[in-house]
């Protein structure tokens, strides 16, 4: 796709003014890094606060008294009992149990507020409209709202200068908050493993709010490069890489995302696409699963590298990998056969024809610091 065909977020002019290097991502021109550079942007987010433009993601509202019950027919998650003012991680699954996308669902009281991935948002919107028609109203906010993420240990102090009430929010809480006179949706969540917030703001006010936050001494603009290394250190999946339609939630090591009430012995067991396969895997196990991988040599192992055993038989593949600035070394995640998924199993990645030894490791690689109160 040529540069002219790429969509632009509401902060495009600001990115250019800040000297960002722009790249194509999910059909948008997005900042991969700023003059500070990926390494320093990553460390600044871990130490103070980083501001990310994630306006390419899709925002959707579901209206109607039966919206929660309707949405439960598409996800293996408890939506009916989601308290007002709380957000939950969810997965769209298909009839084979594969993951169509992952998303966030918040209960705003009089509607559900969804955030879906940029590369899947059009198909997600069509999926919702096809399956929920007549049961609830599906409203696209793709063109009307931008999304900012303020992440890092200083995020709460910074945002509290604009709205003191955000400091009392805990991880995965969601609220309507007025920032600089603008009605915003704020959740205490993010994609870095750090404390922080995601802020939905009307597109016409997004640049004003972003400039105000960047004027705070603790805040730097952060691009996609550092966003990727931050989420990898936190052990978080990226759709289209670490999970996709041919992979089930159990294979993706997202068992925790299958709500107890939707499991085989739950009060509302099944009732979502692919339930039979997913619940069978939950009780019987899987042939391969996602694991954390730490190379024992200082050699970065990238996405696509084959994973082999000591006899050089292919047993898996790397789905995300690189260098972890906070970890101080290379790290990766990928899929391996069940026999090799136990912690401390030794496996090898093939990098330019050479074997790089790796150890199956716990995730997150760097401790998550979500604020739970």
Binding residues for substrate: 198
- Whether 246 contacts 287, CB under 8 Å: no
Q: Which two tokens stand for residue 358?
A: 């790796």
Q: How far apart are CA 253 and CA 232, in angstroms?
A: 15
Strands (E), the chain: 7-8, 21-25, 28-33, 49-53, 58-63, 87-93, 99-107, 111-116, 137-140, 145-151, 174-179, 182-187, 196-202, 219-221, 288-295, 306-308, 314-324, 329-337, 346-351, 354-361
Diameter over CA atoms, the chain: 64
Question: Which residue is it, tokens 């900042």?
Answer: 31
Binding-site sequence positions: 198
Q: Which of 151, 140, 132 is nearest to 198 (CA)?
A: 151
Burial class of residue 160 (count of CB atoms within 10 Å of its CB; 0-12, 13-18, 19+) = middle
Q: How far apart are CA 231 and CA 351, in angstroms?
A: 23
Q: Which of 8, 34, 12 is nearest to 21 (CA)?
A: 34
């Amino acid at each position: 796709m040529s540069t002219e065909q790429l969509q632009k977020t509401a902060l495009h002019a600001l990115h250019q003014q800040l000297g960002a290097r722009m790249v194509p991502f999910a059909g948008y021109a997005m900042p991969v890094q700023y003059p500070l550079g990926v390494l320093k942007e990553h460390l600044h987010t871990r130490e103070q606060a980083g501001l990310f433009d994630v306006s390419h993601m899709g925002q959707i509202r579901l209206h109607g008294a039966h919206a929660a019950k309707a949405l439960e027919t598409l996800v293996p998650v408890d939506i009916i009992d989601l308290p007002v003012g709380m957000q939950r991680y969810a997965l769209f699954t298909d009839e084979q149990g594969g993951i169509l996308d992952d998303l966030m669902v918040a209960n705003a009281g009089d509607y559900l507020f969804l955030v879906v991935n940029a590369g899947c948002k059009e198909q997600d919107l069509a999926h919702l409209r096809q399956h929920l028609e007549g049961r609830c109203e599906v409203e696209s906010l793709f063109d009307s709202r931008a999304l900012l993420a303020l992440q890092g240990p200083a995020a709460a102090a910074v945002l509290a200068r604009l709205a003191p009430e955000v400091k009392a929010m805990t991880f995965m809480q969601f609220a309507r908050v007025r920032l600089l006179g603008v009605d915003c949706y704020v959740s205490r969540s993010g994609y870095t493993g750090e404390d922080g917030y995601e802020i939905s703001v009307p597109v016409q006010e997004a640049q004003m709010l972003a400039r105000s936050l960047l004027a705070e001494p603790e805040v730097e603009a952060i691009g996609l490069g550092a966003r990727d290394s931050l989420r990898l250190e936190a052990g978080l999946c990226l759709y289209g890489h670490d999970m996709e339609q041919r992979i089930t939630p159990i294979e993706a090591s997202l068992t925790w995302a299958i709500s107890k009430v939707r499991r085989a012995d739950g009060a509302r067991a099944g009732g979502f696409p692919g339930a039979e396969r997913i619940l069978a895997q939950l009780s019987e196990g899987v042939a391969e699963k996602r694991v954390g991988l730490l190379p024992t040599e200082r050699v970065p192992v990238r996405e696509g590298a084959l994973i082999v055993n000591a006899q050089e038989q292919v047993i898996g593949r790397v789905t995300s990998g690189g260098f972890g600035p906070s970890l101080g070394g290379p790290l990766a995640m990928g899929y391996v056969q069940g026999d090799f998924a136990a912690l401390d199993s030794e496996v090898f990645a093939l990098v330019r024809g050479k074997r790089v030894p790796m150890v199956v490791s716990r995730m997150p690689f760097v401790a998550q610091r979500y604020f739970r109160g």
